[in-house]
Amino acid sequence: MECPYCTGPVEFLSSKQFYGKDYGTNVYVCYPCDAYVGTHGKGKTPLGTLANKPLRQLRMTAHSIFDPLWKGKFRKMGRNGAYRLMQKLMDLPPQKAHIAMFDEDQCRLLISKVKEYRGLQ
Query: What is the structure's pLDDT at 76?
Result: 73
Higher pLDDT, 120 or 93: 93
The predicted-structure confidence for 24-79, as pLDDT tens digits, reads as follows 999 999 999 999 999 999 999 999 999 999 999 999 999 999 999 998 776 778 89
Backbone angles phi, psi at 6, to 5 degrees: -115, -5
- On the CB side of 109, CA atoms within 13 Å amount to 14
Give the predicted TM-score (pTM) of the model: 0.89
The predicted-structure confidence for 7-20, as pLDDT tens digits, reads as follows 999 999 999 999 99
The H-or-E segment that residue 112 falls in is helix 104-118
